[in-house]
Copies of this chain bind each other. A is one copy, B any other.
Amino acid sequence: MAASVSTAMRKATLQDIADLAGVSRATVDRALHGRGRVMEGTRQNILRIARELNHSPNLRARGLKLSQSFLIGMVVPNISKSFYADVVEGTEECLKEHGYGLILCNIVARQSAERYQTILRMQGVDGIISCAETGYGWERHLRAFADEGTPVAMINYRVRGVDGPVVYVNQRKGGYLAAKCLLDAGHRRIMFIGRSKGYINLERKQGYRQALKEAGIEPEEQLSISFENWDEEFDLFVNGLMGGKEPPTAAFIPSDLAAARFINRLQSRGYRVPDDLSVVGFDDLSSLEWFIPRLTTIRQQKKEMGFYAAELLLAGLKGRETKDILLDVSLVERHTVASLPERKIADFKGDVTGG
């Protein structure tokens, strides 16, 4: 008992084990790693002593020698958004299996970008996983890391000028499925509500346009809107488009969060969803699990995004060839899409053929 108390004071080193075993550090090292030849007897003895001393290798020392840290930086825009928490969980799951520590980098301002560039650099992380359009100048820092030789894996899109594997999501298919679902329900005047810029939204919009075109509908730019300031612009929208003589009957909103906001506003103006307007979102956020009406949306494999990015990064560290990954998306049908009554469809068709 007294012995175990005293040994607990300082962590055991290879030298401690070597002393007790009556061998050299080098031999202990070999025995512990199963590298090189060590007599079976000595090996067993060393292993036993190591266990008794509760030895665990000092990664700082090993890393100093090997220029490794067994640390990976994980960069996200905002961990308190369920989307990123899910992605992080996937990465974390993979890294822990491989003995790597995950340094969480939450980039919520220009200052945090600076901070984490410093922290990751000083810690000498073995690699960086960068998720989504972080902003705040992070892209520039990431490029600097890449230029210095730090391996990088990206999620969602390739940061310009940065080499490394990318986990893509089939955004375009998502947009396509969303619009298709609405078209299949008989809708013809389908809005796209969201920004028409940035790689991700642009892809989603492309998919939406493609579905419309395949259905013989020319996408109208008038039906593509975006709210910068909801309080001001939502009124304009309701009084304008929605109140017009040929109001849209459906909307594809490439973000669940925006879809929820939109539906809420709509409801407070007396509209019903999906009765008056059908809506399809994007993301399938777990934080909207309780939103009523339950959102019909496009599911992204969030945990997988993080997991595969980590796998690719680690594979790269081991010198293996890596290829970009394209993750599939799927339509989750819930309660925000209604079939357009035949009457309305007929009316609308009449309009078109008649015009």
Q: How many residues on chain A are close to B (CB under 8 Å)?
A: 55
Given contacts A64-B61, A69-B60, A80-B286, contact A119 B103 (CB under 8 A): no
Copies in the complex: 2
Interface residues of A in 223-269 (CB under 8 A from B): 260, 264
Determine whether A11 belongs to the interface, using a CB cutoff of 8 Å to chain B: yes
Given contacts A59-B122, A89-B79, A102-B104, contact A289 B287 (CB under 8 A): yes
Chain A window 53-77, contacts with chain B (Cβ cutoff 8 Å), 1 for yes, 0 for no:
0001111110110000111001000
Q: Which residue of B lies closest to A106 (CB)?
A: B92
Q: Which residue of B lies closest to A58 (CB)?
A: B124
In the complex the two chains form, is B60's CB within 8 Å of A64's CB? Answer: yes
Given contacts A89-B79, A148-B11, contact A97 B115 (CB under 8 A): yes
Determine whether A112 belongs to the interface, using a CB cutoff of 8 Å to chain B: yes
Interface residues of A in 78-131 (CB under 8 A from B): 79-80, 82, 85-86, 88-89, 92-93, 96-97, 99-104, 106, 112, 115-116, 118-124
Q: Which residue of B lies closest to A97 (CB)?
A: B115
User: How many Å from the CB of A273 to the closest CB on chain B?
Assistant: 13
In the complex the two chains form, is A8's CB within 8 Å of B82's CB? Answer: no
A115 partner residues in chain B, CB cutoff 8 A: 96-97, 99
User: How many Å from the CB of A72 to the closest CB on chain B?
Assistant: 10
A123 to B74, CA, bound (A): 17
Q: Give 19 A-B contacts (CB < 8 Å), ordered by A residue.
A: A11-B148, A58-B64, A59-B122, A60-B123, A60-B124, A64-B64, A70-B119, A71-B103, A74-B104, A79-B79, A79-B92, A80-B86, A82-B287, A96-B112, A99-B122, A287-B289, A287-B290, A291-B291, A292-B292
Given A79-B88, A102-B104, A290-B290, 16 additional A-B pairs, CB 8 A: A58-B124, A60-B63, A60-B64, A64-B64, A71-B103, A79-B85, A79-B89, A80-B82, A80-B85, A85-B85, A93-B106, A96-B112, A101-B120, A101-B123, A102-B103, A260-B290
